[in-house]
Amino acid sequence: MWVTSHWFPTLLTISLQRCSLQVATDSSRSSNQLCSSTPPMAKIQPLPAASSPPSCSPSGDEPQILQKQAAYTVWMKSLVFNGNGCTVYGADGGVAFRVDNYGCRGGPEVFFMDRAGKTLIRIQRKSFGMFRRWEACRYFDDGEETRPWFSVQKAGKNGAAVRIHGCGRTFTIDGCARKSDYKITGADGAVAAAIGRKQTASGVVLGEDVLALTVGSGMDHLLALGLVVICGLMNRCL
């Protein structure tokens, strides 16, 4: 009887330890199974560095290599909290360009930047009322270009005229008063770029602040994106 009373606490302790070990092992297995079933977090892949040639060379000659057709997704929202602007995504889903306007909507000056924050275009509003005009200057590694790259002026109630300085090339923005459906045409009437509401692969039309920009061959991508930004300023979308 003394032996039984002496060994009973020891046997009880060993049994409890085994139960604790079994519970810990089962919990570890359940945790590992849960972690393995959780999908990895999606990441935004960076776009390869690329520079777009100007739409007009300083001598007025057209570039020898025409750009291929491309598509961008333009979200009329800034990535900065409580900021105004827009974000441009490339074909791979990565952030390609952005505009961060820390002032009020439709401010007198905005900067179009690449994803790293390097300024590519400075856009300024030069006049008011019916004579309202916007001018854009390009930025290069050695600083801002002295003369404007292009200017945009309203033409009628639903259009705008675009003039490229230095070569006399012109474009027309048809339907710029509409926030999410307009096109950019050349002097010959051919469509150089078009913008409309973004659709998913299943055909679902997204909101008015998610746009799809299609740029045709021969059209400078940076110029087309700059015109989209100016249309957003006209309609006080950014």
For residue 46, what pLDDT is reported?
Answer: 36
Whether the pLDDT of residue 228 is over 90: the answer is yes
pLDDT in tens, 107-146: 788 999 999 999 999 999 987 666 789 999 999 888 778 7
Residue 58 pLDDT grade (very low, low, confident, very high; cuts 50, 70, 90): very low
If DSSP states are collapsed to H, E and C, what string results for 125-188? ECCCHHHCEEEEEEEECCEECCCCCEEEEECCCCEEEEEECCCCCEEEEECCCCCCCEEEEECC
For residue 103, what pLDDT is reported?
Answer: 67
Residue 117 token pair: 């924050």
Q: Tell me if 227 sits within 8 A of 152, measured CB to CB.
A: yes
Residue 235 pLDDT grade (very low, low, confident, very high; cuts 50, 70, 90): confident
Residue 68 pLDDT grade (very low, low, confident, very high; cuts 50, 70, 90): low
Residue 104 pLDDT grade (very low, low, confident, very high; cuts 50, 70, 90): low
Which is it for the CA torsion 83, 235, 154, 171, positive or negative? positive
Average pLDDT over residues 179-202: 91
Taking the CB of residue 206, how many other CB atoms lie within 10 A of it?
Answer: 15
For residue 80, what pLDDT is reported?
Answer: 82
- In angstroms, rounded to a whole number, what is the distance separating the alpha carbons of residues 186 and 30? 64
Taking the CB of residue 126, how many other CB atoms lie within 10 A of it?
Answer: 13
State the DSSP H helix or E strand holding residue 87, giving kind and residue range, or none if neither. strand 84-89
User: Which residue is listed with tokens 């979200």?
Assistant: 75
